[in-house]
Structure 1
């Protein structure tokens, strides 16, 4: 299967960029198709679930997000450390920097959990997920985010089980913490469950 980008143009540039691409790609039936698609470009990101294995607790962050406002949902989302990978950084360096800024911790060990596209139908952003091991009693700062980035972050240590319960009850509505918890700690299946 092959594709060819026939035309690309920038249609918006702000905090994010929007590009319009005309692409010809192979079809599964052997033919080809030419389509025009818009793609939001924001760069790649990395996210980190902080975990204290001695306390068996994870650090969750809560902050305001504009997306849920537009759906009349609660805009204060439960999340994990995350941020855009700056030029010259790799994903692990980015999450360690973000961990210091947002949570006040530097992990003594990081473990790669996986990589995923957030919304591949309209955005090229890819997120690398990590688990970061820390001692909750040894912060290196206050966390809470950076004033110059207009961040206002509340931090809460919760037991691993409480975090999984929050996931099960729908109190975590953001993809990165959902996937990080599932990849780090596993999850019960729903197929074949008795009601």
Structure 2
């Protein structure tokens, strides 16, 4: 018996090897097998499928996918004062891959868990930034690492003002979060993208959107 397949794993999940087996939206892709290779907090699978190439020939391929669920991200902005709210926290994956200190500047973001995207990002804004979000503006949905990670990230923007503060932010201590809240001039945030101090994909995308077609477009 395999945890996560035949019997519940540590999160009570079974049937984790069934995800993707019934995919039939693309007639040029036929899923043959899905193997559960790891079930930590998130799930790693190895899928075997046949794919029709552009020249008409068929090939068999294997790909590993990391399934951590979908997420949401938020860029809060104050157009009157020309500021944005960002976070800074330690990220071990970037630290081990040559980031100077692992302290990454990012927009607020988090996994959806069982919530819809808007509910989830309002929760994250309150927990990480200490801000009650006004009207959410959907910006785009992104796959940030489509070669291996299944996560779809729902990206939003929202106006904020001083009166929207409901706490200090910083994340949920019981969950190990230790987040610094940064209120930056938008022009400074853009400069940080240019010189590499902001190197997080979702954050760069949302800041560029704000400059090109969002609240800070020239």
Q: TM > 0.5 between the two?
A: yes
Question: Which runs of structure 1 show a deviation greater than 6 angstroms over 4 or more consecutive aligned residues?
Answer: none
1:77 aligned partner: 104
**Residue 47 (structure 2) aligned to one of 21, 43, 57:** 21
Report SS of the residue matched to 1:161: helix
Aligned equivalents of 1:137 and 1:76: distance in 2?
29
Aligned length: 186
Equivalent residues in 2 for 1:161-172, closer than 5 Å: 161-172=187-198
Aligned equivalents of 2:141 and 2:98: distance in 1?
30
Aligned equivalents of 2:165 and 2:67: distance in 1?
34
Structure 1: gaps spanning 5 or more residues: 188-195
Residues 22-53 of structure 1, C-alpha deviation per residue, up to 9 Å, x if partnerless?
01112111112110111101000110011112
Larger Rg: 2
Q: CA deviation at 1:144?
A: 0.3
Q: CA deviation at 1:137?
A: 4.3
**Residue 118 (structure 1) aligned to one of 127, 137, 144:** 144
Aligned equivalents of 1:125 and 1:160: distance in 2?
28
> Does residue 86 of the first structure (1) align with residue 113 of the second (2)?
yes
Report SS of the residue matched to 2:187: helix
Aligned equivalents of 1:148 and 1:29: distance in 2?
54
Aligned equivalents of 1:185 and 1:90: distance in 2?
28
1:155 aligned partner: 181
What's the C-alpha RMSD, in Å, of the aligned pairs?
Answer: 1.3
- TM-score of the aligned structures, taking structure 2 as reference length: 0.82
Contact 2:132 2:164 in 1 (8 A): no
1:11 aligned partner: 37
Aligned equivalents of 1:186 and 1:93: distance in 2?
27
Contact 2:133 2:164 in 1 (8 A): no
2:206 aligned partner: 180
> Does residue 99 of the first structure (1) align with residue 130 of the second (2)?
no
2:89 aligned partner: 63
Residues 121-169 of structure 1, C-alpha deviation per residue, up to 9 Å, x if partnerless?
1110111111021113430111100012211001111111111111111
Report SS of the residue matched to 2:136: strand
- With a CA cutoff of 8 Å and minimum separation of 6, indicate the structure with the bigger relative contact order: 1
